[in-house]
C-alpha cells in the first residue's frame, strides 16, 4: 500500500467562478488542494472550521469585518462558529493555493 497522495491524478472540481479544488479522502480524513483566483466572490459567510496552509500566493480573509492577510507559508486555523464567520477575498491579479486538512464532513465548496 502506498501512502503517497498524487494530486496530479485527481480531477479538479470547479463549483463556482474563481475557485477549484481536488479532494483526497481516506476513511474520515480529508485533504483538499484549493485554488482561489480573480473572479471569486464568496456568496455567503462561512461558519465552518478550517485548518490549512497557504501553499502559494496570497489572500485576505474577512472575519466578520476584520481583514487579515495571509501569504505563502502561513498556517491558518479557523474555529467553527458564528464568532469566526469568514469570507476569503481575492484582490485583482491575486491568487492563492491552500492545502486544507480536516474530516470528510468538510464543505463541498
Return per-residue pLDDT of the chain as tens, 109 residues.
Answer: 788 999 999 999 999 999 999 999 998 999 999 999 998 999 899 999 999 999 999 999 999 999 999 999 999 999 999 999 999 999 888 999 999 998 765 544 5
What pLDDT, on a 0 to 100 scale, did the predictor assign at position 92? 87
Residue 96 lies in a domain: yes
**Residue 5 placed within a domain:** no
Q: Is residue 62 part of a domain?
A: yes
Domain presence at residue 2 = no
The domain in which residue 46 lies consists of 12-103
CA distances from 98 to 1, 2, 75, 93 (A): 27, 24, 10, 17
In a domain, 40, yes or no: yes
| Assigned domain for 45 exists | yes
Task: Name the domain count of the chain.
Answer: 1
6 found inside a domain? no
pTM greater than 0.85: yes
Residue 11, Cβ density class (10 Å: 0-12 exposed, 13-18 middle, ≥19 buried):
exposed
User: SS3 for 36?
Assistant: strand
CATH number reported for the structural domain that contains residue 48 in this entry: 2.60.120.10
Sequential DSSP letters for 77-101: EE-SSGGG-BEEE--TT-EEEEEEE
Is position 16 within any domain?
A: yes
Amino acid at each position: 500500500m502506498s501512502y503517497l497522495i498524487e494530486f496530479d491524478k485527481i480531477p479538479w472540481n470547479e463549483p463556482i467562478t474563481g475557485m477549484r479544488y481536488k479532494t483526497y479522502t481516506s476513511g474520515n480524513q480529508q485533504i483538499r488542494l484549493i485554488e482561489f483566483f480573480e473572479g471569486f466572490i464568496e456568496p455567503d459567510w462561512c461558519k465552518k472550521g478550517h485548518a490549512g496552509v497557504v501553499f502559494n500566493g496570497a489572500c485576505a480573509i474577512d472575519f466578520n469585518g476584520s481583514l487579515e492577510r495571509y501569504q505563502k507559508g502561513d498556517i491558518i486555523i479557523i474555529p467553527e462558529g458564528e464568532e469566526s464567520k469568514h469570507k476569503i477575498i481575492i484582490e485583482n491579479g491575486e491568487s492563492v493555493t491552500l492545502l486544507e486538512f480536516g474530516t470528510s464532513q468538510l464543505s463541498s465548496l
